[in-house]
Chain A
């Protein structure tokens, strides 16, 4: 099994930077994913890390430390449309490459 933890809620101001943390414990780590989900909609893919380090993609960056079981998603120049739930998910070789999700972090961007 796995344990994936991320904060339940966060609030940030438009134009600011926010960091959403995720810690995990898994026996067969095979990659960490971040998804964005707006209320009532399907999750959409944001980023993927399998090696340690930072992956940058426009306003979004994701970092991974496998030895610490830790990742974060960094959102820069926040916009109102970034208000959504952000899901951390870990792929595990020992469970047939299934993607197991944390409970998500609900981010509210305020003016």
Chain B
């Protein structure tokens, strides 16, 4: 089954404790992206990647890092999480010109 898988789905952590949200897709998509979704602000892009070893900043990259060492994986790293990073995070992938396929989302709370 074609899918985008994110982990963890739910996480409560404390300020400053490094965490990684993993994302994996099995559709051989070149394009992958991370979004955060907050009430009243909609989906905002954090980082995206056009292909392996190619990443670029989206609209809200501050406080986040990503890597794309393999085509299927695109982890989101929060080196020192802060409460303003409490949000619902979505990973997505596409073939480039096609539709975006979303993961189920990761709800992160930073205390």
Interface residues of A (CB under 8 A from B): 30-31, 33, 35, 40-45, 48, 87, 89, 91, 96-104
Contact = CB atoms under 8 A, between A and B. Distances in A.
Interface of B: 31, 33, 35, 40-45, 48, 50, 56, 58-59, 90, 92, 94, 96-97, 99-105
Contacts of A43: 43, 90, 100, 102
Contact of B42 (A40, A97, A104): A104
Given A96-B50, A97-B97, A42 B90 contact: yes
Nearest to A45: B99
A48 B33 contact: no
Nearest to B44: A101
A100 B58 CA distance: 9
Nearest to A47: B99
